[in-house]
Amino acid sequence: MWVEKYTVRGKIRYRFGETYKSPLTGKYKKVSVSYLKNNNQTKRAAAIELAKKIEKAKQKEYFTDKDISLRNLADKFLTIYKQRVAVNTYYNAFRGLKRICNDLGNDTLANKITTEILNRYLDQKLYDPDKPLTNASIQNYKKYLSMTYKFGVKYGYLKTNPVKDVEITWRSEIKRKRDRIENKYLTDDEYHAILHACEKKDRNDIKLFLEWLYLTGMRCGEAAGLYVKDIIKEEGKYKAIIDGSLSHQRELLGSVSNPTVKVSVKKTDGAKTIASNREVLLPQKAVNIYKKLSLDKNSNDLIFINKDSRSNRPFDASHLDRFLHRLEAGAKIDKSVTTHFFRHTHVSKLAELGVPLYVIKNHVGHENSKITEEIYLHVTKEMEESLADKLNKL
């Protein structure tokens, strides 16, 4: 520490100074404080004050934007995140953070958000009486916040990460999960009611596509991506070769904070998983659908076409799910039906026929599937209970 004597308006003062090495540039910088006296007491006080000033100066070099808003921090994180993840992954994070920033306030300073604030916010979203989010959705909210704050600490925008100590009061979802299994496939009456509703809407194209999903257990994207050439006949049996799936590829345009999305439909090279690449044996009803729809088509033409779309576009799950949702009331079905219901219903019918679980998994392209196992166990349990009732009547 050095001491320098100087005069201000005729009065003598003492400047106590110290040098420190900048952690960013490696160069030496000076800090100083002034006192009226130069004695042991002021020297001790000056040393303490100088140490604080040096620490603060070093921190300032790192934390140059300590008053960054939550929205600005999220945008900076998304700019980096966009470069290292798939478009769909990025878009999900963008939408999640947009909702979070809207809820907490776009202009809210990121360093003013505490663990307590986040605990209350996430619990409120989880237990909202009107539109409660699921545990899985809240887990995603926490993940997006955690990634954003870790980024903020890593790049010097923040000193601490309040998400690290967040503790969510998770809601019991036993009933929801039980209901999910019981309501994830269709009864025979419900299945036929949906087909009848399609006919009433003059959508025979959708009716045939849904029948195909029910008869084969294929995923929507797998069936929608079938070309005429993908159906082969070997030893008198028809099979469908599954080697890819139609998916909607998103391309992000515009700014990070206000992106626009261009969607194109492409068939992937290879199915969803290794187990999904397979040959599916077709029952006669499915063969009849294939023969009907492949008439006058070339080998490279898609089998299934959405007649309501422009340029003969293929079916996609989101369009069909919306269509099915509109049918539910008219068909008197108290379930949130999606295209995946027909795949699950196929699994339930095979279970009723006594087909072993491992054979079903291979058939539908599931190496490991909790939902397939749960449907199988649920159906077989119902069959056992039915058998017990029948035995009691002997």
List the chain pLDDT tens, one digit each, 394 residues.
899 999 988 899 999 999 998 877 788 999 999 999 999 999 999 999 999 999 888 877 665 556 899 999 999 999 999 888 877 788 889 999 999 999 999 999 999 999 999 999 999 999 999 889 988 899 999 999 999 999 999 988 898 999 999 999 888 766 666 666 777 889 999 999 999 999 999 999 999 999 999 999 999 999 999 999 999 999 999 999 998 888 766 676 666 667 666 767 777 666 555 667 889 999 999 999 999 999 999 999 999 999 886 666 888 888 899 999 998 877 788 888 999 999 999 999 999 888 888 888 888 887 666 778 888 887 887 777 776 676 676 6
Sign of CA dihedral 355, 358, 363, 364: positive
- Segment holding 13, helix H or strand E: strand 11-21
- Mark whether 138 and 278 lie in a shared domain: no
Of 146, 171, 196, the domain-final residue = 171
Q: What is the CATH number of the domain that holds 196?
A: 1.10.443.10
Tally of domains within the chain:
3
pLDDT at 27: 87
pLDDT at 309: 64
pLDDT at 365: 84
- Mark whether 51 and 114 lie in a shared domain: no
Q: How does DSSP classify residue 163?
A: G
pLDDT at 179: 61
Q: Report the 10 Å Cβ neighbour count for 140.
A: 16
Q: What is the CATH number of the domain that holds 116?
A: 1.10.150.130
Of 138, 171, 204, the domain-final residue = 171
- Work out the burial of residue 167: count CB atoms within 10 Å of its CB; fewer than 13 is exposed, 13-18 middle, 19 or more buried: exposed
Q: Report the 10 Å Cβ neighbour count for 10.
A: 5
**Is residue 144 included in any domain, yes or no?**
yes
pLDDT at 333: 84
pLDDT at 66: 65
- Mark whether 263 and 322 lie in a shared domain: yes
Of 171, 202, 235, the domain-final residue = 171
**Is residue 176 included in any domain, yes or no?**
no
Domain housing 80 = 70-171
* CB environment 261-299: b (16+ within 10 A), e (fewer): eeeeeebeeebbeeebebebebeeebeebbeebbeeeee
In angstroms, rounded to a whole number, what is the distance separating the alpha carbons of residues 205 and 388? 42
**Is residue 90 included in any domain, yes or no?**
yes
- Mark whether 329 and 305 lie in a shared domain: yes
| Cα angle for residues 103, 104, 106 (degrees, 5° grid) | 95
**Is residue 55 included in any domain, yes or no?**
yes
pLDDT at 76: 94
**Is residue 245 included in any domain, yes or no?**
yes
